[in-house]
Chains A and B, each alone.
Chain A
Amino acid sequence: DVVMTQSPLSLPVTPGQPASISCRSSQSLVSSDGNTYLNWFQQRPGQSPRRLIYKVSNRESGVPDRFSGSGSGTDFTLKISRVEAEDVGIYYCMQGSHWPPWTFGQGTKVEIQ
């Protein structure tokens, strides 16, 4: 199984400042079809998960452009250019390149400091 490791696990942020979350996989996420199926999800307190980014860097419809995804192979990053109060929550990376199982990272808790 592919192990997904996120860092940091806790991220205090200041509104208006940038934030970055790292996600590393135990093996390359380049799939047999040439795509890299790395997703990022946001889970606000008390809510269901919501996908922000799919295939490394593609934003879902309605996701603010302050969220961006990048990376390749085994190293991936979610960046928030200017954190807003509504960005508080837990962020998960998830791989869908080598399944089953689909595997999530442990989650990174973003909170306003």
Chain B
Amino acid sequence: EVQLVESGGGLVQSGGSLRLSCAASGFTFNKYWMHWVRQAPGKGLVWVSHINSDGSSRSYADSVKGRFTISRDNAKNTLYLQMNSLRAEDTAVYYCAGSFGYWGQGTLVAVSS
């Protein structure tokens, strides 16, 4: 059974940092491009960042570029998102997704201003 389990969310003050993790199992993690997608309360889906299968290529939405860093550890089947200089507008549920075919349950990040 495919599983993606996010963790690391929580309440943080504006300007603070959080590191999200996404533990993968049930599929060949090191062959999949991975993404972070977020959803603000009551709003739609927004793509945040991607990393290719071996970690050599990454991209970011303009809204998080320079503040967020995506990484992966294929030996641990885990995806990460380091989030710095957090803003109120970063408040959302953050989903990890494997090539958009596999999705986690999401982790809530709340930034207080």
Q: Is B27 an interface residue (CB 8 A)?
A: no
**Does the CB pair B45–A104 fall under 8 Å?**
yes
Identify B47's interface contact among A43, A101, A105, A107, CB under 8 A: A101
For B102, give the chain A residue with the smallest CB separation: A51
For A107, give the chain B residue with the smallest CB separation: B44
**Does the CB pair A92–B44 fall under 8 Å?**
yes
Q: Is B35 an interface residue (CB 8 A)?
A: yes
**What is the distance, in angstroms, from B102's C-beta to the closest C-beta of chain A?**
9
Number of residues from B at the complex interface, CB < 8 A: 19
Number of residues from A at the complex interface, CB < 8 A: 22
**Does the CB pair B45–A48 fall under 8 Å?**
no
Which residue, of A39, A51, A90, has the highest number of chain B Cβ atoms within 10 A? A51
Inter-chain contacts of B106 with A (CB < 8 A):
48
Identify A102's interface contact among B35, B62, B103, B104, CB under 8 A: B35
**What is the distance, in angstroms, from B84's C-beta to the closest C-beta of chain A?**
20
**Does the CB pair A50–B59 fall under 8 Å?**
no
Inter-chain contacts of B47 with A (CB < 8 A):
94, 100-104
**What is the distance, in angstroms, from B54's C-beta to the closest C-beta of chain A?**
18
**Does the CB pair B103–A99 fall under 8 Å?**
no
Inter-chain contacts of A92 with B (CB < 8 A):
44-45
**Does the CB pair B100–A100 fall under 8 Å?**
no
- Inter-chain CA distance A48–B6, complex, in Å, is 12
- Inter-chain CA distance A54–B99, complex, in Å, is 11
Inter-chain contacts of B88 with A (CB < 8 A):
none
Additional 5 contacts, C-beta under 8 A, given A48-B103, A51-B103 = A49-B37, A49-B103, A100-B61, A102-B100, A104-B44
14 contacts across the A-B interface (CB closer than 8 A): A41-B100, A48-B95, A48-B104, A50-B103, A54-B100, A100-B59, A101-B61, A104-B44, A104-B45, A104-B46, A104-B47, A105-B44, A106-B44, A107-B45
Interfacial residues, chain A to chain B (CB-CB below 8 A) = 39, 41, 43, 48-51, 54, 60, 90, 92, 94, 96, 99-107
